Amino acid sequence: MRSMTPQTSPAPPAPSPSGRTDAKPALFYGWKLSLLCALGNLMLQGSAMYGMNAFLEPLSANYGWSRTSLGVSMGVAALGGFASVPLLGTIAMRFSLRNVMAVGALVGGASFVLMGQTQNIVLFTVFFCLTWITGQCCGGMVANALVCNWFVRRRGRAFGLANIGTSFSGATIPFLALVCISLWGTSAAYAVLGCAAMLLAPLCYALVRDTPAQLGLHPDGERQDPPQHRGGGDDCSIRAMLHRPEAYYIGLAFGLGLMCASGVMSQLKPRFTELGLSSYHAMILSCASALFSGLSKYGWGWFCDRTNPLLVARVTLLSNAVMLAVSLLPHNAVTLVISSIILGACCGGYWTVLPAIVSYYFGANSFLAAYRFVSFFIILKSLAYPILGLSYDMTGSYNSGYMVYIGLISLGFILTLLVDGKKAHDWAGAAR
């Protein structure tokens, strides 16, 4: 924990990793780390989530794997990734975030390469699991912990910037993968993604610093550390969290919301193909939806910085339920584009609002301990893919799956209404 003893004179600025010493850097170093986290989310977590938009149909055609079996594979991989969060959270609390991110990039990239080298769906699923797990190391939970260390007043916007990468992955990776598949096949496409991800390892090791103090800086680039609320943080040990109903309400609400948003965004291209668009037009619209999902993340973060993050969580869930219902209505070309872009923007809120509400409700100094518990409920996300797979295989449409999603998101919204905002660690500072 950082010392709160007042400093009589400011410490001289420490050299940057590149060797420069700047009295007043042009850009706060924390923003550079947020961009690096965005890149990690793009190359690993986002690629694992959105890449199947390009690979789903070729894998099914080449190897005879059904949509249901591929949906189960995606579900098992997501299950493994999020079931590992408590363990990864404990590791991140004991080891340098810098080392965890570098190792995650290296292992995740290798897993991508291996996914393209097997025709056995069981081995494919094993490597897919490793990709999801490492996505939480070079991005995901570890990236959010790093951002939480570097920001206070602008934390929501920093979370939004770091998590933009996940959605930008949906706007770029599927199209890139589709081109690679068309030119060289699925194995080469996976190899390209894997090698690109492995390049993040030396970048993370060179740039990441766990706290601003390691560079003689303070959160947000201020002249001193901000005051702490209520002694610095709540007791968020596993035993304590097991007895806090709010942890269950928040975890389940975001678990349900993220499950549905990820299911929708991961299979938008097949959904648009189902609605009659050509393969490339469907991919372009899918990428556009993901692009606006990413652009909206900074906006959701700004919203969290300006008001109560608990209110933002309720708005996020409600808007997603409404837009999913709208997507089931008949559309012409124009309304399909507009509704799909708005749906993507609504889905973009979850990964920004979740870390914001965890740091707000349980305290920034307890972020990793609280986040590892709350994130366990995101294990529900693994159910998203079989739901859509079964919906398509049984009815020839994703509509039934979308209706299930609407009901689950509505349940998540009701759960947030049970959370008492006055018990939040940062409640006194909520009106910003």
pLDDT tens string 153-197: 888 999 999 988 887 887 788 888 888 998 898 889 999 999 999
Supply the pTM of this predicted model: 0.75
Q: What are the tens digits of pLDDT across the range 278-297? A: 878 887 888 788 788 888 88
What pLDDT does residue 2 have? 39
Q: What is the DSSP string of 166-208?
A: HHHHHHHHHHHHHHHHHHH-HHHHHHHHHHHHHTHHHHHHHH-
Q: What are the tens digits of pLDDT across the range 328-342? A: 888 888 888 898 889
Measured CA to CA in angstroms, residue 393 lies from 192, 396, 399 at distances of 31, 6, 12
CA 198, 202, 203, 204 dihedral sign is positive
What pLDDT does residue 381 have? 74
Region of poorest pLDDT, from 146-150, 169-173, 253-257, 322-326: 169-173
Report d(CA 305, CA 302) in Å as an integer. Answer: 5
Domains in the chain: boundaries: 29-225+233-427
Average pLDDT, the chain: 83
Q: Is 4 exposed, middle or buried (0-12, 13-18, 19+ CB in 10 A)?
A: exposed
- Element containing residue 359 per DSSP (H, E): helix 350-362
CATH 1.20.1250.20 fits 29-225+233-427, yes or no: yes
Average pLDDT (222-241) is 69
Average pLDDT (420-428) is 72
Q: What is the share, in percent, of the chain residues with pLDDT greater than 70? A: 90
